[in-house]
Amino acid sequence: MSLNKVEQLFNAKLISLEEQGMRKGNEKTVIGVKPAENGFGIRYKLEGYGDRAFLRMNSNSYLGLSLHPLVIRAEAEAVEKYGTGPGAVRFISGTYQPHKDLEKRLAEFHGRESAMLFSAAYATMMGVLPQFISEDTLVVSDALNHSCIINAIRLSLPAKKEVYAHANIDALDKILATNRGQFKRVCVVTDGIFSMRGDHAQIDKINACCKQHEAGYEEGIISIVDDSHGVGAFGRSGRGTEEVTGGKADILIATLGKSLGVNGGYVVASPVVINYLRETSPFYIYSNPITPAEAAASLGALSILDSHEGLRLLEKLRCFSTLLRAGLERLGYETLPGEHPIVPIFVRDTNKTSALVAHLFTHNILVTGLNYPVVPKGEQEIRLQISADHTEQDLKFLLAKLADFKG
């Protein structure tokens, strides 16, 4: 037995990715964090780059809670009390009090009766969506949905999959009308915030469309929303896309690893749905949960989000999002309107995107270029992400370096 033959195929694939400018390459390793000073925010030190300190504009930690003293203290105290790991999957002996407390608090935060933790948000979607799909189910998906949704649909093997043009309710309506009577059940699944662009799904309009067609399907239409980039970053109180649109998903999935600054994923829904998932989802049954300490840290982060301090941090994000978008427009860069802290720069060219990433890195700014196939051809971009850790001076510094780019 040998890997020699297959490694030749893998190496050829890696070379092809390199030639197309699509290879991600080596990951940069953070080795230290430099505190804020002189009006500038936190900076990060990277392995192999000496004393250079980088402004990070590519982090999902929108509220900066991963470095918040209360969150750190909550995790440290829980480690002392419970140890570093759960020791087993939850139904054997891996459920701890912080897991139950966090699930209760998440359900309350989202106005639901029940919640359930998973090891990651990606695992949540993979563990949830297939449990709602049978051989008689139609799945309808937004064209710009995240990889976790795409792969969960593949895993589910539905009777049929339909994709509607991004955020196009008329296209969704046509699909539901065309397929009436042909399937027992429909799952309409979408991101809340679309992670490459920072725009959002109109959950209220999706629900209205589903309600209009539900009578045509024996087992109804279920709406499933992954709002991992919305919760804690969007809406006045950080309750995400549901808060902004006034719509409510049947099944809401989100993460503990972005705005809350810790790790893990979760789903909130009715008690019957959550009890069903605990008995059927292999990503829950056969995988260790987040650690008790991570659950305690998430509880601490959620308490901050749902407080006056959280409201202040969210207002700062909105103000900085407006400031950055206005600055980009002044410089002639193409972006999208909105209040979400994901602020895209549409470059629409792979080589130019790579050149702009390199230019900013030279000036100690970390950004991530998104090229095909992560985004469609012609939509190559740099995704800027604002954090409450940033300062106005940071944004002015970023805009000045963008102004200097001659690509």
- Name 190's bridge partners: 225
Estimate to the nearest angstrom the gap between the alpha carbon of 86 and the chain centroid.
Answer: 25
Q: Which residue in this structure is represented by tokens 């230290």? A: 32
Two tokens, residue 38: 């002189």
What number is the average pLDDT over the span 132-144? 97
**CA nearest to 99, candidates 83, 116, 112:** 116
- What is the distance between the alpha carbons of residues 197 and 167, in angstroms, rounded to a whole number? 12
Q: What angle do CA 339, 397, 363 make, to 5 degrees?
A: 120
- What is the distance between the alpha carbons of residues 145 and 174, in angstroms, rounded to a whole number? 19
- For the range 174-182, what are the long-range contacts, defined as Cβ-Cβ under 8 Å and sequence gap of 24 or more? 175/140, 176/140, 176/209, 176/210, 176/212, 176/213, 176/216, 176/221, 177/213, 177/216, 179/138, 180/213, 180/216, 180/217, 181/216, 181/217, 182/138
For the chain, percent of residues with pLDDT exceeding 70: 100
Please give the C-alpha separations between residue 231 and each of 128, 329, 399, in angstroms, as whole numbers: 18, 27, 27
Res. 20: pLDDT tops 90 = no
Res. 41: pLDDT tops 80 = yes
Res. 95: pLDDT tops 70 = yes
Q: Give me the pLDDT at residue 330, please.
A: 97
Res. 276: pLDDT tops 70 = yes
Prediction pTM value: 0.96
Res. 1: pLDDT tops 70 = no
What number is the average pLDDT over the span 230-250? 98
In sequence order, which ranges of 68-202 are alpha helices (DSSP H)? Answer: 69-82, 97-109, 121-128, 147-156, 169-178
Q: pLDDT of 198-222, one tens digit each?
A: 999 999 999 999 999 999 999 999 9
What number is the average pLDDT over the span 115-126? 98
Q: pLDDT of 314-335, one tens digit each?
A: 999 999 999 999 999 999 999 9
Question: Which residues are part of the catalytic machinery?
Answer: 195, 229, 258
Res. 406: pLDDT tops 90 = no
Q: pLDDT of 352-404, one tens digit each?
A: 998 999 999 999 999 999 877 777 788 899 999 999 999 999 999 999 999 99
For the chain, percent of residues with pLDDT exceeding 90: 91
Q: Give me the pLDDT at residue 371, please.
A: 79
Strand 368-370 versus strand 221-226 pairing type: unpaired
Q: Give me the pLDDT at residue 67, please.
A: 96
